[in-house]
Structure 1
Amino acid sequence: KAAALYLDGLFTADGIVPPSPRYLELIAERARAAGVVYVADEVQAGHGRTGQGLWSFGPSGVTPDLVTLGKPMGNGHPVAAVVARSEIVDHFGVDHEFFSTFGGNPVACAAALAVLDVIDSEGLLANAATVGNGLQSAIRGLAGTHPAIGDVRGRGLMVGVELVVDPATREPDEQLAAQVMNGMRERGVLISATGRERNVLKIRPPLVISADQAAIIVEAIDASLTAANA
């Protein structure tokens, strides 16, 4: 029997396919009806990346049973956390023994709190929404010149660019994605690839990125696609 359902709110590893809020609501309802714990994985999609609040599960209106936090939490400082409903934690503490040598490290906790302060004080949620929407729009504008761009999707500063062999068939072009990824690296822009066929460019710049810096990403995509098809 399944014990838990883990969901990344943007399905980041599956090609960045943002689900509708209603989808998350329905799947959480079904999980709980089956006695399964709903775990929101916010390691990649959380901490304001969507520009719609701190957490990607927020728009669904569903409160998860557990939330996992990781890499963005310390902005480079190693720290991670699990947040849980009190009844789950209370049960865990009674029935199981848990010990962590580095749990609650004060330096890591200070770094995590500082990240939250900066997200708030520097208006990074609004920046993620504004710059992210502009970035997606600009990349979509390249599709007229580069038909290999089959789709551009995401939320805020989590953007997926699906590369295809033929826009009509949507056949994945993993080789082109690798060429573009390496071409962008040579041009000073680091991204990765995601999706089952690894044909989706995974673009997730820092939350502090400016519109001018986002334009550099667009230029690198354009130049790398041009070079790959030369």
Structure 2
Amino acid sequence: LSPSAFAGAPPAFRTGLAKLDVASRGPLPERAALVGKRFIERIAQALTDARSSATVRGEGLMVGIDLGGQPGAGARLMRALLARGYITTTGGGRREVLVLTPPLIIAEELLEGFVQALGPALEEALS
């Protein structure tokens, strides 16, 4: 007997590969690169404005905000942003990185709203 009928989830992987194939042939990669660059720049400015030691890095619209190795800081910021309507996740061995992976078709106004919410959420999460 197999411990799981769907171990490895081959149908999901095939679906994901098909989606990547279609997406790579359209304008989404270029848009993600352009919009992501602006998003990362705006986050960096928001971190500076908030006098935060956090750093931002990413590629396209896959973005991480490293909260300086503070254990649990990413989780606290994630909760503060969720209270403001933004769904994020965390990464890093100590959940010290906030991970942002918006859809490639996201409206830039929504990204700007996130940037505006970031400063107050940082203050709440890290105080």
TM-score, normalized by length of structure 2? 0.77
Which residue is equivalent to 1:156?
Answer: 60
**Map 1:118-129 → 2, pairs under 5 A:** 120-121=25-26, 123-129=27-33
- By how many angstroms is 1:118 displaced? 5.0
User: Post-superposition shift, 1:151?
Assistant: 1.5
Higher helix share: 2
Where 1:80 maps in the other structure, the secondary structure is helix
Aligned with residue 79 of structure 1, among 12, 18, 37: 12
**What's the CA shift for 1:203?**
0.8
Contact 1:131 1:214 in 2 (8 A): no
Is residue 2:122 matched to residue 1:218? no
Q: 2:23 and 2:35 mapped to 1: Cα distance?
A: 17
Gaps of 5+ in 1: 1-69, 71-77, 82-107, 165-171
Distance in 2 between the 1:112 and 1:197 partners? 31
User: Over the residues paired in the alignment, what is the CA RMSD in angstroms?
Assistant: 2.4
Would the alpha carbon gap of residues 114 and 142 (structure 1) be closer, same or farther in structure 2, given more than 3 Å must change? Answer: closer
Equivalent position of 1:142 in the other structure: 46
CA contact (8 A) 1:184 1:220 kept: yes
Structure scoring higher RCO (CA < 8 A, sep ≥ 6) equals 2
Q: Secondary structure at the match of 1:79?
A: helix
Q: 2-side partners of 1:177 and 1:125: how far apart?
A: 27
- Give yes or no for the alignment of 1:192 onto 2:89: yes
- For 2:44, the aligned partner's letter is R
Query: Residues of 2 paired with 1:209 and 1:149: CA distance?
Result: 28
Paired amino acid for 1:192: T
Instruction: Summarize deviations over 1:59-78 as a string: whole Å, max 9, x none.
Output: xxxxxxxxxxx8xxxxxxx6
Whether 1:177 and 2:110 are equivalent positions in the alignment is: no
Q: Counterpart amino acid of 1:155? A: E
Q: CA deviation at 1:201?
A: 0.8
TM score, norm. by length of structure 1: 0.45
**Residue identity (%):** 27
In structure 2, the residue matched to 1:117 is 22
State which drifts further: 133-142 or 144-153. 144-153
**Offset at residue 196 of structure 1 (A):** 2.0
Query: Which structure has the larger Rg?
Result: 1
User: Do the aligned residues in 2 keep the contact of 1:158 with 1:203 (CA within 8 Å)?
Assistant: yes
Show the counterpart of 2:124.
227
- SS in structure 1 at match of 2:54: strand
2:3 aligns with none
How many Å apart are 1:173 and its aligned residue? 1.3
**5+ residue gaps, structure 2:** 1-9
SS in 1 for 2:12: coil
